[in-house]
Structure 1
């Protein structure tokens, strides 16, 4: 089995950090763009895609800055994270996504994130 590797993607967005954080850290926000339905209970989020449910726990977060999840079925050191940064010069909001994938699957995973972020941008009006 090949080792999964960390990769990062950056998306410039035209919205406030507070609004973006709401979209990446709450069941209502994530249900708008990330999965068909999202529920959370005691820091464990259940993501439903066409009847398939995957669960992830929140391992760390800082309001309006970042939230890190770990899939319950994944290795302990793996996670996916939404981090909100601001550029120094233009003060533009940047969403930085960190995720893990097999080396030969990084391109496909990146394209999937691109598709999902386009949906989020549409819903945000950003």
Structure 2
């Protein structure tokens, strides 16, 4: 199965320092992104959606700027092309607005459905942080 790259961004009225813990910690992510998120001693994050486990590693991050989670492969063919998502915080220097840029590389290939999904998740985040 081929993967699909989707990117979008949303303006959010909160500082990058305030937002970053919601993107990078299991407790922060659990408040807006998934039904629950845990992290084990091997630093593997377990995202639980609809009672299904989705295990991922934080493969890169920069404090107050971005995080990238790569899902652990479940089949041999996924080893060569793992699904991932990246959440990047960007500031427009001119307007001082903060944007969350989302990159989603997954099996979902319907851009409208992906946009609706991420819009809903970011809306949850905005409610959580008051932004």
TM-score by length of 2: 0.86
- State how far apart, in whole Å, the 1-side matches of 2:35 and 2:83 are: 23
1:122 maps to 127
CA RMSD of aligned residues (A): 1.7
Alpha-carbon offset, residue 52 of structure 1: 1.1
3-state SS of 1:11 partner: strand
3-state SS of 1:33 partner: coil
Would the alpha carbon gap of residues 46 and 101 (structure 1) be closer, same or farther in structure 2, given more than 3 Å must change? closer
1:88 maps to 93
**Which runs of 5 or more residues in structure 1 are unaligned?**
none
Cα deviation digits, residues 56-101 of structure 1 (max 9, x gap): 1111011001000111135545420000110020111110000024
Alpha-carbon offset, residue 18 of structure 1: 1.1
Number of paired residues? 125
* Equivalent residues of 2:108, 2:114 under 8 A apart: no
- State how far apart, in whole Å, the 2-side matches of 1:8 and 1:111 are: 12
1:109 maps to 114
3-state SS of 2:94 partner: coil
1:40 maps to 39
